[in-house]
């Protein structure tokens, strides 16, 4: 008689955020220190899962003064391990030509809300006209 192994299924969900769907922290606090910081929430199924969770950022496109530029960096506070890099995710408006994106671990119990912001290559915060970011959320 053979024994059956239970193999946990993996759930993969694409998650898209953009500027109109984000909360502009600078606008609601009326504090210039928060200009260009946008708050979002992960889907409740992902945030409340009690298993190992991963985030892959597939792409991020943004316009600045109506142009697509490639010398801007996306930052996100859902990156817990690389906080010493100011939570840098990647350069924006760049297609990785099939290279696998970085996978970021999302710890159990981490907050559902997260913030993103953009900087130039010198680390100065910049405010985009618009942006769109696509992520792949993975959990069992």
Q: 22: exposed, middle or buried (C-beta count within 10 Å: 0-12, 13-18, 19+)?
A: middle
Q: How far apart are CA 129 and CA 82, in angstroms?
A: 27
The per-residue pLDDT for 8 is 64
Quote the pTM value: 0.84
Nearest by Cα to 14 from 95, 101, 74, 94: 101
The dotted CATH code for 11-139 is 2.60.120
The per-residue pLDDT for 63 is 94
The per-residue pLDDT for 95 is 74
The per-residue pLDDT for 27 is 82
| pLDDT per position as a tens digit, 40-97 | 999 999 999 888 999 999 989 999 999 988 889 999 998 876 666 678 888 888 776 6
Nearest by Cα to 28 from 19, 18, 38, 20: 38
pLDDT-derived band of residue 34, with 50, 70 and 90 as boundaries?
Answer: confident
């Amino acid at each position: 008689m053979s024994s059956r192994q239970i193999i946990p299924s993996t759930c993969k969900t694409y998650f898209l955020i953009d500027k109109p769907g984000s909360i502009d922290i600078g606008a609601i606090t009326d504090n210039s220190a928060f200009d260009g910081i946008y708050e979002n929430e992960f889907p409740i199924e992902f945030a409340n899962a009690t298993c190992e969770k991963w985030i892959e950022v597939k792409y991020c496109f943004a316009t600045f003064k109506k142009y697509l530029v490639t010398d801007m960096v996306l930052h996100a506070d859902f990156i817990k391990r690389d906080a010493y890099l100011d939570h840098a995710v990647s350069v924006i408006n760049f297609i990785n030509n099939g290279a696998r994106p970085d996978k970021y671990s999302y710890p159990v119990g981490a907050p559902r809300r997260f913030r993103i912001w953009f900087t130039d290559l010198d680390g100065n915060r910049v405010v985009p006209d618009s942006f769109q970011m696509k992520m792949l959320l993975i959990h069992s």
